[in-house]
Amino acid sequence: MVTETSNLLHYLRLSEFESKYRVKTQAQPVLKQLQASINKRIARFNIKESLLSFFPFITTLRKYKLKEDLPNDVIAGFTAGIMMIPQGMAFAALSTLPPIVGLYISFFASLTYFWFGTGRQLSWGCVAVLSLMIAGVLDKYDNKVNEGKILNSLDTAARPSFLFNFTNTSEFSNQNMSLMPENITERSSMSEKDLRRIEVASGVTLIAGLLLIFMSMIGLSRITNLMSNSLITGFTVGISFHVATSQLKGILGIKIPRHTGIMSIVYTWIGVLRNVPNTNIATLLTSVISIAILYLVKTCVNERFRHRLRVPIPIELLVIIIGTLIAKFVNFHKDFKVDVVKEIPIGLPPPKIPDLELATDYIGDGLVIIIIAYAQTLAMAKTMGLKHNYVINANQEMFASGACAVVCGIFSGYICGASVSRSVVQDGAGGRTQVASLFAAGLVLLVIMVLAPFFYHLPMCILSSIILVNLLSMFQKILEIPKEWRKSRYDCAVWVCACVATIILNADFGLLAGILFSIFLVALRGMLTPIIETGQIHASAGNVELRSVNRYSDIAPLKDVRIFKIKTPLYFVNADIFTSKIFSKTGINPIKMKKQSQTYIVKNNDSGKLDQAIALDVANTEHLLEKNPLACLKVLILHTAEVSFIDLMGVQALQFVITELSLVGVEVLITDVPESILPMLKSTGFLDKNSDRLYLSVDAALASTITQLNSRTDVLSSGDSVL
């Protein structure tokens, strides 16, 4: 019987299990490992699968059903395209670039995403948040120009061709279609400034796109894991406050300087309040009427009857058309001093690499912007994929985002992404595949090639009104804070921190503050609850669960044995807290007992060993129990199944607990060691040193413990009988 029990315990130890079942591998040099990895990839490489993965549209077209999919894609594409036109112009104005840039982006981004994207219902183009962040980059450039660090003038011979020369179809009429206005002497400097700023934005976009493509090729698509949904939402809401604030001057028709950096939103509001008496009444009335019409139709018609309307009313486009006609016939610009869009060139700009030297100072800004664009796009793609039951390839989406940026950078655009509002509308209109993007791009192309001059008299305040109304859905997320708080206080705290930091510190520092706060909360959660005491609950026959002794009843008592579960990774952040929690929860502090023993030795001039003094303290069990009844402990079991990783300080903390508690007569056993931390335990020598303490499960450790305690009891009882 004893032999069977010993054999059972023999195989329940982790060391024996590893030696019996683990596949033994020999360590290879790094170069050989790299070569083996490359050979494995080459062996698995398949040209057909690679092409289908790199060009997802091939799979889409192969499975395309003309009778079922085409009508839906046509309707959805034209619906999204109708929204692209006003939003593209409005968001381009938000970026402080000419409105035509927004149409370029809408066309080229939609076309590029069709080739490389995996999201079938996504509508690509200008996004308010990204446009404002690009405006921040251009503000930095303007500041350098004003300080004289950069020349803003362009030599005629050195002007990039894409800035001034358009395709043959891009000639303007002799009236209001010329690129340069009639009074060249008064406006030529402003024109050069705008053109150079387009080149800066394009250069930043091109470099950021190339970097994102490189990141996708080396598999860094998981970088967005650093940004939770709560962080992205809070950051986006914070940016929305900046977007809305930037449109106040357009709504009121006033002139105030742009502010950048920390507290810029406060300075902007101060400037707005000071200039309220200078409000242009005609501009204000136009804005109020536009906002009222847009809001009422969007909420009371499109939203309320969305299940009945196959296609939502394109109220934004209607407001632009009607507003442009009224402004032209009433002569808003000359008679009422209302700012209008003015000249818009016809045709597409030819491809041209921008002057990258202008963008070198803003590569970091561009990388932050494009990562945010990718994160938002990936989240939207996953949402649509779950809804329509198809798989999203994160690496391919990163490549597609980079490709869209590269193409837009070559064609006078800036960083863009998938629009949430347009994607929802495209999906609601019945969009089935990426083919809908082609029809949307075709509609935008029609405007660029033919209808662009029509928008000469479009009031800028209408574009500002469109932006404000589109931001209402973002501001409504603030009302969800109490609900988020009830769901998760940690996530809600990240949401609020990212939002407030973005509002106060501006976009770059706000995002960084949100990421750092998220990391801090992760570390804090590990520091607050590294361990909990657990006990066994016999839920059913043969089914035993480990649960917290503080939160569950009917815990089966274990004499002289306590079980602690380590709930977090064990690393430098919580290593010291882990050891202090162990000592406080067991009621035994070996360090304090050492100090008391040393004091005892000094007072009695005893030259004996310190270990003997500690043994004397342990022998006085009755005195220890009087101080802390919980200290009656002989075996401590550490359940490590939830320790996802461990570092050197974590290993040292474990060894410290084992060593210190052993000195006071408490045996420490470790169970359920995850395979992920075994290499660290082995490389530090922990496995070899403590092989007799490591068990496969809590049940195995308890079986060994009970056997040992019973054997000790038998020995003691037999000794008493002899005496």
Nearest to 558 by CA among 632, 610, 450: 632
Asked if 671 and 644 sit in the same domain, the reply is: yes
Domains of the chain: total:
2
Asked if 378 and 436 sit in the same domain, the reply is: yes
Determine the average pLDDT of the residues in 382-388. Answer: 86
Q: How confident is the model at residue 384 (pLDDT cuts 50, 70, 90)?
A: confident
Determine the average pLDDT of the residues in 66-80. Answer: 89
* 302-335: pLDDT as tens digits: 888 878 877 788 888 899 999 999 999 999 888 8
Identify the DSSP state of 306: T
**623 found inside a domain:** no
Cβ neighbours of residue 130 closer than 8 Å, sequence gap 6 or more: 369, 372, 373, 414, 415, 416, 417
Asked if 634 and 694 sit in the same domain, the reply is: yes
Q: How far apart are CA 14 and CA 520, in angstroms?
A: 35
Asked if 468 and 540 sit in the same domain, the reply is: no
**12 found inside a domain:** no
Asked if 518 and 543 sit in the same domain, the reply is: no
The dihedral formed by the CA atoms of 483, 486, 487 and 492, expressed in degrees to the nearest 10 = 80
| Phi and psi at residue 231, to the nearest 5° | -65, -45
The per-residue pLDDT for 31 is 78
Q: How far apart are CA 445 and CA 297, in angstroms?
A: 27
Determine the average pLDDT of the residues in 87-113. Answer: 92
The per-residue pLDDT for 670 is 93
Asked if 464 and 550 sit in the same domain, the reply is: no
The chain-wide mean pLDDT, for the chain, equals 81
Q: How far apart are CA 669 and CA 698, in angstroms?
A: 9
Q: How far apart are CA 631 and CA 77, in angstroms?
A: 72
Please give the angle made by the CA atoms of 686, 692 and 693, to the nearest 5 degrees.
Answer: 70
Asked if 632 and 668 sit in the same domain, the reply is: yes
Grouping H, G, I as helix, E, B as strand and the rest as coil, residue 185 is helix
Asked if 382 and 457 sit in the same domain, the reply is: yes
Least confident residue range of 152-166, 246-260, 476-490: 152-166
Asked if 502 and 534 sit in the same domain, the reply is: no
In contact, 639 and 688? CB cutoff 8 Å: no
Nearest to 538 by CA among 550, 547, 528, 525: 547
Q: Domain containing 565 — which CATH number?
A: 3.30.750.24
Using a 10 angstrom Cβ sphere, with 0-12 exposed, 13-18 middle and 19 or more buried, the burial of residue 242 is buried
**344 found inside a domain:** yes
Q: Please say if the pLDDT value at position 389 is more than 50.
A: yes
Domain termination site, one of 481, 498, 522: 522
**210 found inside a domain:** yes
Q: Which two tokens stand for residue 8?
A: 């059972």
The per-residue pLDDT for 550 is 77
Q: How confident is the model at residue 513 (pLDDT cuts 50, 70, 90)?
A: very high
Q: Please say if the pLDDT value at position 103 is more than 60.
A: yes
Which uninterrupted H or E stretch holds 635? strand 635-639
Q: Please say if the pLDDT value at position 345 is more than 90.
A: no
- Number of CB atoms found within 10 A of residue 403's CB: 21
Asked if 81 and 130 sit in the same domain, the reply is: yes
More confident residue, 135 or 310: 135
**236 found inside a domain:** yes
Largest Cα separation within the chain, whole Å, is 123
**Amino acid, res. 336:** F
Question: What domain range is 708 assigned to?
Answer: 529-588+628-714
Asked if 511 and 561 sit in the same domain, the reply is: no
Nearest to 380 by CA among 208, 215, 233, 498: 233
**616 found inside a domain:** no
What are the residues facing 646 on neighbouring strands?
570
Which uninterrupted H or E stretch holds 532? strand 531-540
Q: How confident is the model at residue 658 (pLDDT cuts 50, 70, 90)?
A: very high
The per-residue pLDDT for 544 is 65
Q: Tokens 């990562």 correspond to what residue?
A: 371
Which uninterrupted H or E stretch holds 373? helix 363-388
Domain termination site, one of 507, 522, 537: 522
The per-residue pLDDT for 157 is 36
Domain termination site, one of 495, 522, 549: 522
Determine the average pLDDT of the residues in 447-463. Answer: 89
The per-residue pLDDT for 528 is 76
More confident residue, 329 or 540: 329
Nearest to 459 by CA among 290, 258, 296: 290
Q: How confident is the model at residue 22 (pLDDT cuts 50, 70, 90)?
A: confident
Q: Please say if the pLDDT value at position 486 is more than 90.
A: yes
**Amino acid, res. 644:** S
Asked if 497 and 571 sit in the same domain, the reply is: no
**596 found inside a domain:** no
Q: Which two tokens stand for residue 240?
A: 């929305």
Q: Please say if the pLDDT value at position 228 is more than 90.
A: no
**622 found inside a domain:** no
The per-residue pLDDT for 170 is 40
Determine the average pLDDT of the residues in 482-494. Answer: 92
